[in-house]
Amino acid sequence: MGFLDRFLKAPSWGVHPEDHKRPAADAPLRIFPTPERVFMPLHQHVGGVARPIVLVGQKVLKGELIAEAQGNISAPIHAPVSGTIAAVGDVTAPHPSGMPFKAITIESDGANRWIDCEPLADPFSAAPEEITKRTAAAGVVGLGGATFPAAPKFALGKRLKVSTLIVNGGECEPYLSSDDRIMRDYPEMVVDGARLVMHAIGASEALVGIEENKPEAIAAMRKAAAAFPEVKIRPLPALYPMGSDRQLIKVLTGIEVPSDARAAETGVLVHNVSTCAAVHKAIRLGQPLVERIITINGGAIANPGNLYAPLGTMIGDLFTFVGLKEAPSRIILGGPMMGTPLLHDRIPIVKGASGILAFNAAEAFVPEAGPCIRCGNCTKACPMGLLPLEMAARIRVGDLEGAEAFALSDCISCGCCAYVCPSHIPLVQYFSHAKGELTAAERTKLRTDATKRLAEAKAARVERENREKAEAAAKRKAEREAAKAATAQPASVAVEKTEGASA
Amino acid sequence: MSQAFGMPVAAPHTTTTNSPGRIMSLVMMALAPATLYGFWLYGWPAFYLWLITILAAMLGEAFCLRWQNRSAAPILQDGSAILTGWLLAVSLPPWAPWWIGVFGGLFATTLGKQAFGGLGQNLFNPAMVARVALLISFPVQMTAWVGPLPMFSVGAPGPIEGLLIVLRGIPPALDAVTSATTLGFAKTELSRGVDLFQSAVHTPALSFFGNRPGSLGETAAWLIAAGGVAMMALRLITWHIPLAMLAGIAIPAAIMHAVDPARYLDMGAHLLSGGAMLGAFFIATDYVTSPNAPRGQLIFGFGCGVLTYIIRTWAGYPEGVAFAVLLMNSMTPIIDTYFKPRIYGRDSKGKPLQTAN
């Protein structure tokens, strides 16, 4: 790619935040020692909450099923360590509200003994459905952060005859390097996983998009994919939000996903590199998803880097392992652009946790918001081509429908607008608020509509019943009168008397 | 460890170091060369007028903020009032009396800006509102131009003398320097029935460096353009509005000049005279009062240019940039409504794209 090419073909959207990836990305992967206790939340994925199938006091092995999937879109949960089930109860959710949610607590026995794993001998001669089934059973979900169960996505890809698998190694969020690390240390796993996914969905090629700020990962992946011409490594310009599926698809294939369609409908499917590695483990090793690489980074961390840790490990335990220079001023699950602020560190890591950031006071500083000067930087940065300033101006005065008319629903909450805003207006907060209000209003409307429908139906039914009753009564009366008239023809005086009494 | 980490805040958890104050400072730095040239060209009175206008603009802003029980100091630090005063000052006749600067500066920030709700809320460019208010209210003072009398040259007023000129008016001894601008002279002569060949106002060589009668900081067209290009390089503005506005002036000027060179000034004279350059790079590009999507900006800029040409050529005033910009400012909300950028996954009308398969 020549200089001029880069200048002319570079996407016009996006931002270049300081990436802060090194030195954490260059530090060798460390294996986190088995913690004494893990807390495995039952809801670590998009969709139905898993249902626990173990009892307190029961012994489990590493990788044993402890909660099964419930519903079409759901994922099972497996024990990340061997030990004893200590409790099934509430822990703090990895959510800014700090709400409690259900988790299974396992006391580790320290042995870390695996269950008997059953690898699939020759997956490429197996039916694609077999890959999908085993991926579902292994509890694999999208590890880029979206945590959508992988198997239903495979099935969708197969049904819509997807031809291209896009493997997302963008990792455009600053600070994070877990995908970088998996591509550097386990490129064969990622490439094999990508080929397994291709087999599962029937795709003929895989495009692995990797940002140019990860040259080591690109080199390692090129080497691993050298034997497989269908797996193509595609370096991408380092630009946030390159890892967003719609932007990645456009840059790699030129296809623009219609605003009301899913990516699969345009013939492509996106899976994260870590997800591909998890599929590899599920099929080739028979191991369910119980561990992951997680980046621990930020100004408050003494030795930032990537850890290979069991899911359900408390964030505080990870911090103790890497050391803290100072008490963090903010803890974030995920990256700084879209991550979730956490209330404290007694929260377990989950399948979608690609990183935990501990910010020092300088990093956590939030400048005061000022008035919009209509500079238009948000418009230039928006990867969806929206007008954040116009939407925010309408949301500020409560005109949510007005904001919706500017295609608020197309906003992907990437945070580019709020990042570039010189007045530091929390635009994403405005949009999240408005989307929440609109969803709530929609739900209320559906409910009132339903109530109205029921009320109308009831009124109609009551009216009908009354009418039928009246008709029946009139009919009976007419019959009675007819009968009386027939029997008491001579005694007409008596009939008149009866009528007078009833009136 | 069991501490809590305060209130949750919305993502993103990192932000740019940019701020309105930084943007305003950079714009002022881009404007500085042309302004300094103006100080040199027209001497000390120009400097004092510039200072007075900026102070008046800041005073107007501070007064309105205190009136609303808001603290003035942090808001004045964003530099927007200074920039407004500065832009107004460079569009004034360089030896205008002090009260022109005071009236204009106060008018700009009070009625032009704070009356609408402050920074980001005004519909019209505050500096141009004030310029037009002055032009209509005080036409004599606003069209009293002096010829170049460079600082430190023989006969030029010194620091004290310059201050007295601003405070007391131009002394009779210096009255001879009063002159006319290219556009003004052409208009006057044409209205007397003297065509452009006879009045011989074609002096683009003089205009080139700005060494001619005109507004305080508007004559050095190339220094202004250089400042504008610097702002583009810093990504403060895009090329859309300036280029479209200059095209809007140049295209009709070229056509009309070709049709009748005796009646219509050529393209160069139009582009290098008056407020064309300042308007294109510094006035029309004001964020608050211009459209924010590229197509809208092209329309807005072109409209500013064409209206400037029309007002200069056929209306009663020799210069039209201020009127043209204000007229187009009023169109900004409409332009923004009809010329939005195309959204990803939707066609230009906002309908979702069709899937290929």
Confidence of residue A502 (pLDDT cuts 50, 70, 90): very low
Distance from the B256 Cα atom to the nearest Cα atom in chain A, whole angstroms: 36
Pinpoint the alpha helices (H) of chain B: 20-42, 44-67, 72-76, 80-90, 98-110, 126-137, 139-142, 159-168, 182-191, 196-199, 204-209, 221-233, 240-259, 267-272, 276-278, 294-314, 321-338
Tell which A residues from 391 to 410 touch B, by Cβ distance under 8 Å.
Answer: 406-407, 410
Strands ordered across the beta sheet of A30-31: A30-31, A305-310, A291-297, A355-359, A330-333, A340-342
pLDDT in the model for residue A500: 45
The separation between CA B209 and the C-alpha centre of its own chain, rounded to angstroms, equals 19
Contacts B4 to A, Cβ<8 Å = 343-344
Question: With an 8 Å Cβ cutoff, is B349 touching chain A?
Answer: no
Taken as a whole, chain B contains a residue count of 357
pLDDT in the model for residue A63: 95
pLDDT in the model for residue B204: 44
d(CA A415, CA B7): 19
Of A259, A336, A374, the CB nearest to B346: A259
ipTM value for the complex: 0.89
Structure tokens at B250: 């140049």
Question: With an 8 Å Cβ cutoff, is B150 touching chain A?
Answer: no
pLDDT in the model for residue A67: 96
Contacts A372 to B, Cβ<8 Å = 120
B341–A345: do the CB atoms touch at under 8 Å?
A: no
For A249-259, how does the pLDDT look when each residue is reduced to its tens digit (9 = 90+)?
999 999 999 99
- A175 vs B157, more confident: A175
A418–B10: do the CB atoms touch at under 8 Å?
A: yes
A372–B78: do the CB atoms touch at under 8 Å?
A: no
pLDDT in the model for residue A12: 85
Confidence of residue A349 (pLDDT cuts 50, 70, 90): very high
Cβ neighbours, 10 Å, residue A211: 24
Paired with B181 in beta bridges are: none
In chain B, the residue whose alpha carbon lies closest to the alpha carbon of A370 is B20
d(CA A315, CA A33): 14
B14–A364: do the CB atoms touch at under 8 Å?
A: no
Question: With an 8 Å Cβ cutoff, is B69 touching chain A?
Answer: no
Interface test with A, best of B9, B15, B25, B114 (most A CBs within 10 A): B15
Which run of H or E residues covers position A260?
none
pLDDT in the model for residue B196: 74
Pairing of strands A100-108, A83-92: antiparallel
Structure tokens at A159: 């049904």
Taken as a whole, chain A contains a residue count of 503
Distance from the B92 Cα atom to the nearest Cα atom in chain A, whole angstroms: 26
Model confidence at A1: pLDDT above 60: no
Pinpoint the alpha helices (H) of A243-354: 245-253, 273-280, 315-322
A262-288 average pLDDT score: 95
pLDDT in the model for residue B150: 84
In chain A, the residue whose alpha carbon lies closest to the alpha carbon of B6 is A343
pLDDT in tens, chain B (357 residues): 444 555 667 889 999 999 999 999 999 999 999 999 999 999 999 999 999 999 999 999 999 999 999 998 888 999 999 999 999 999 999 999 999 999 999 999 999 999 999 999 999 999 999 999 999 999 988 988 888 888 888 778 888 888 988 888 877 766 545 667 778 777 777 777 777 776 655 454 455 667 778 888 888 888 999 999 999 999 999 999 999 999 999 999 999 999 998 889 889 889 988 789 999 999 999 999 999 999 999 999 999 999 999 999 998 888 889 999 999 999 999 999 999 999 999 998 888 988 754
Do B291 and B299 touch, CB atoms closer than 8 A? Answer: yes
Of A258, A340, A379, the CB nearest to B293: A379
A265–B357: do the CB atoms touch at under 8 Å?
A: yes
d(CA A70, CA A54): 15
CB proximity list for A178: less than 8 A, separation 6 or greater: A171, A274, A292, A293, A294, A295, A306, A354, A355
Distance from the A330 Cα atom to the nearest Cα atom in chain B, whole angstroms: 6
For A6-56, how does the pLDDT look when each residue is reduced to its tens digit (9 = 90+)?
555 678 899 999 999 999 999 999 999 999 999 999 999 999 999 999 999
Question: With an 8 Å Cβ cutoff, is B335 touching chain A?
Answer: no
- A487 vs B291, more confident: B291
Structure tokens at A410: 């197309």
Between CA A30 and CA A165, with CA A140 as vertex, the angle to 5 degrees is: 100
Distance from the B248 Cα atom to the nearest Cα atom in chain A, whole angstroms: 23
Pinpoint the alpha helices (H) of A138-210: 150-159, 178-185, 187-201
Closest listed residue to residue A134, CA positions, set A263, A278, A4, A312: A278
Burial of A339-349, coded b for 16+ CB within 10 Å and e otherwise, reads bbbbbebebbb
Pairing of strands A83-92, A59-60: antiparallel
Contacts A174 to B, Cβ<8 Å = 14
Percent of chain A with pLDDT over 70: 95
Distance from the A158 Cα atom to the nearest Cα atom in chain B, whole angstroms: 14
Residue A18 one-letter amino acid: E
Tell which A residues from 163 to 182 touch B, by Cβ distance under 8 Å.
Answer: 174
pLDDT in the model for residue B2: 40
DSSP state of B352: B
d(CA A187, CA A277): 9
CB proximity list for B201: less than 8 A, separation 6 or greater: B182, B185, B186, B189, B265, B269
A410–B355: do the CB atoms touch at under 8 Å?
A: no
Contacts B353 to A, Cβ<8 Å = 256, 258-259, 261
Structure tokens at A101: 């949610």
pLDDT in the model for residue A4: 53
Interface test with B, best of A162, A259, A301, A317 (most B CBs within 10 A): A259
In chain B, the residue whose alpha carbon lies closest to the alpha carbon of A20 is B14
DSSP state of A263: G
pTM for this prediction: 0.88
A481-491 average pLDDT score: 77
CB proximity list for B99: less than 8 A, separation 6 or greater: none
Contacts A423 to B, Cβ<8 Å = 19-20
Question: With an 8 Å Cβ cutoff, is A249 touching chain B?
Answer: no
Helix pair angle (B126-137, B321-338), 10° resolution: 140
Distance from the A19 Cα atom to the nearest Cα atom in chain B, whole angstroms: 11
